[in-house]
Copies of this chain bind each other. A is one copy, B any other.
């Protein structure tokens, strides 16, 4: 947690090393999204739909505000996506019991099936990368990613694991 880097890590962080990291992140992110994108093209959905399905699947019963905070978009933008998913019978929106203003979101069977196919494609890609790199590399990967997150996003990310 020291703010002062060691001589070695200071040496390590040349602009060139950082630039390579930036480019690696850029190219890798494209690989990261390509598998689900391939499934999505053809059916009339995009990445925004995938993201909504993912997080609803991850935390079923989540209300709209929570999902908005996670996705970091405006409610108008999310609403368009959510509306099509609800109309198409992939997502169910239930009025809250404690607070009836809230809408709680759930995947229908059909929604869960699509989410599963998308997430399986993405996991397969991730699994291949993890295996190529090995467990120790994966631990480092996760550490750096967490360090890159905005504190608020990191909070939301951690909350997903803790329920």
Question: A: which residues have CB within 8 A of B?
Answer: 5, 8-9, 12-13, 15, 18-32, 34, 51, 58, 72, 119, 122-123, 125-150, 153-154, 156-157, 160-161
Q: For the complex, would chain A's binding face be called helix, strand, loop or mixed by DSSP majority?
A: helix
Instruction: With A28-B145, A141-B141, A141-B143 given, name 13 new contacts (CB 8 A).
Output: A9-B131, A9-B135, A19-B58, A20-B161, A23-B58, A25-B28, A25-B29, A27-B157, A133-B140, A133-B146, A136-B140, A137-B141, A140-B140
Set of chain B residues within 8 Å of A13, measured between Cβ atoms: 127, 130-131
Q: Contacts A123-B15, A150-B34, A161-B20: A145 and B5 contacting too (C-beta < 8 A)?
A: no
Set of chain B residues within 8 Å of A126, measured between Cβ atoms: 18, 21-22, 148
Instruction: Give Cα distance in the complex from A37 to B72, angstroms.
Output: 14
Are A153 and B30 in contact (CB-based, < 8 A)? yes
Are A130 and B25 in contact (CB-based, < 8 A)? no
Set of chain B residues within 8 Å of A125, measured between Cβ atoms: 148
Chain B residue with Cβ nearest A5? B131
Closest 5 CB pairs of A and B: A140-B140, A137-B140, A141-B144, A129-B147, A28-B145
Set of chain B residues within 8 Å of A161, measured between Cβ atoms: 20
Set of chain B residues within 8 Å of A133, measured between Cβ atoms: 140, 143-144, 146-147
